[in-house]
Amino acid sequence: MMHLSPSVDLSKKDPYPAWFLWLSVIGIIVNASGLFLPILEPDGALYATIAKNMALSGDFVNLMMEGNDWLDKPHFPFWITALSFKLFGINSFAYKFPALLFWLAGASYTYAFAGKSYNKQTAIWAVLIYLSIEHLMLSNNDVRAEPYLTGLMIGAAYYYYLAYKNNKWRHYVAGSLLLAFAVMTKGIFIICMVMAGFVIDWIIKKEWKQFLNYRWYVSMVLVLLFIMPELVSLYLQFDRHPEKWIFGQQNVSGIRFFFWDSQFGRFFNTGPIKGKGDKLFYVHTLLWAFLPWSLILFMLVGTAVKNFRRVITPSGNFICSGIALVGFLVFSLSRFQLPHYLNILYPFFAIIVANWLMNLTHKGLTKAVTYSQQALYYLLFLACIALIFVVDLPFKIPAIVLLALLAFVCVRLFPGYSLQHVLARSFAAAMVVNLFLNALFYPLLFRYQSGNAAAALLNKQDPGTVYMFNDVSSEYAFQFYYKGAVQKIDQQQLDALQKEVIIYTSKEKTDSLQKMGYQLQVIAQFPHFHISQLTGSFLYHRTREKAIDVFVIARIHKYNLTIFRQ
């Protein structure tokens, strides 16, 4: 049985305790527990389908979706995912596995960065915090670009930190390569965020010579050199073809979109993709997304603001805090805001929080951390039990018994109220909650992602091309999991097909077609809801039926296509 002595000082314990290795392994396993779950609609399934098209066609230049040129995200995650499809086949595991590896690299770089910039004990807790951040764990199930970007951004910052300290070329090159990969994942704004932390550190410490160090400028040139595959691909797909219609207009430059509209255009809300911003959006996002460490983070920020002059001293390390602060402000001021954007800052938040905890001596703050985390520990377990009844999950009694047993075991493994035990229990609670979500909660939700079930049914029958209507929402999960061809059509194109047609669409659409004179044979129907966009009415099992839609597989026979509609 793992046991920690409550009298041991956090900052003086053996830097490689056995419990750290065990907890790290548990953290990795729990984060990997979503590998075999289906891919979530809409974004994850969209990206998976684009990579599927790339892998099947062998065209690694053009990003295509539903037969159209797709201009939004850069190529790097799609290249990696398409290669994974080539190795492991086109399935959920192959889509999620490379992202998990990049997230895991982020854990490794978090440990290395914290160890180099502070000490090994800080590195241990930074990794445990990183492994248990709620939104990072959710993102290893609902995979988008963020797991890639999270690992690449902290990796680039780590190598640039080494370059800053030892001025060796290999670290400049390594940092520039990872930063280039990050830019080819999300966009040019990543350079600004990473370098902002170093500039802030240099200014506070009056390290003016760093601004004259030509190697930093060579590093930026190297980044531009390393992103040439992205620029060439954008040129070949878009800039060389001004006749293409993109965003409803011609003469669209993919390179301009990459350098300006995709990032600065969203920030200033002048690009083709616009959003509505709330300056406090990410403040309340942190309350749940950074669990179980969010309360500690807010305490840290509060003490930093109160003791601002004492915190800003030349002896400090401001790279992580600089990156975190600038990134948070940039995202908050942007008009285009989504919760997962903050994921790339969490390794830096983890290091900052770990360092603050390692140096926490104020008795009042220590008590506040201890009592708040202890209360949160029990609330997380109670939330899982409440969710069982609200959602009407299966195996209620075994699940409740197991949750109660795990809550008891964690307290026995880490007894008492010493700070390290309280933090270890917080980590354990995060593991239990997310294992509960991946084992019970999400499997039930996926019953309502109709594209998965529809594709599985049609894969057994192999009907050939299946059609979807342009005026009905694109169900990317169906397009990804269906092994045959999927073609989007307009309603007026039905008559021109001159053959039996299998369609996958909403029941509302088939009802409309029947009213217009089409005679449809419904093969199967499925409950439908976008489960990545949960609502209270959907979660509560008594009101769920009113919240869901119905999608169907239907057949339109050739002889029906000639019917005149009034």
3-state secondary structure of 438: helix
Segments in the chain below pLDDT 70: 1-17, 264-278, 307-316, 335, 498, 558-566
- Return the structure tokens found at 526: 């499925």
pLDDT number for residue 341: 87
Q: At what angle do helices 92-117 and 43-57 cross, to 10 degrees?
A: 110
Residue 85 near residue 55 (C-beta atoms within 8 A): yes
Report which secondary-structure segment, H or E, holds 549: strand 549-556
pLDDT number for residue 282: 85
3-state secondary structure of 64: strand
pLDDT number for residue 496: 75
Q: Which of 444, 448, 472, 471 is nearest to 526 (CA)?
A: 448
Counting beta carbons within 10 angstroms of the beta carbon of residue 492, is it exposed (0 to 12), middle (13 to 18) or buried (19 or more)?
Answer: exposed
pLDDT number for residue 432: 96
pLDDT number for residue 276: 62
Q: At what angle do helices 319-333 and 281-289 cross, to 10 degrees?
A: 120
pLDDT number for residue 455: 93
- What Å distances lie between residue 144 and 44, 139, 450, CA to CA? 5, 7, 20
Quote the pTM value. Answer: 0.91
pLDDT number for residue 565: 43
pLDDT, tens digit, for every residue of 484-542?
A: 889 888 888 877 776 788 999 999 988 888 888 788 889 999 999 999 889 999 999 99
Amino acid present at 429: A
Rounded Cα distance between 41 and 455, Å, is: 14
Max CA distance (Å), the chain: 85
Residue 545 CB contacts under 8 Å (≥ 6 apart), including other chains: none
Report which secondary-structure segment, H or E, holds 69: strand 68-69
3-state secondary structure of 262: coil
**CA gyration radius, the chain:** 26
Residue 123, CA atoms < 13 Å, CB-side half-sphere: 21
Give the distance, in angstroms, between the CA of residue 278 and the centroid of all CA atoms in the same chain: 21
Residue 373 near residue 296 (C-beta atoms within 8 A): yes
DSSP-assigned states of every residue in 42-60:
THHHHHHHHHHHHHHH--S
Report which secondary-structure segment, H or E, holds 349: helix 346-358
Angle at 194 (CA atoms; ends 32, 272), nearest 5 degrees:
85
Give the distance, in angstroms, between the CA of residue 401 and the centroid of all CA atoms in the same chain: 32
Residue 484 near residue 458 (C-beta atoms within 8 A): yes
Q: Which of 34, 253, 238, 243 is nearest to 147 (CA)?
A: 34
CA dihedral 164, 165, 171, 175 (to 10 degrees): -40
Rounded Cα distance between 198 and 307, Å, is: 22
Rounded Cα distance between 426 and 380, Å, is: 9
Residue 227 CB contacts under 8 Å (≥ 6 apart), including other chains: 180, 183, 184
Q: Which of 119, 123, 101, 103 is nearest to 111 (CA)?
A: 123
Residue 558 CB contacts under 8 Å (≥ 6 apart), including other chains: 498, 499, 500
pLDDT number for residue 470: 86
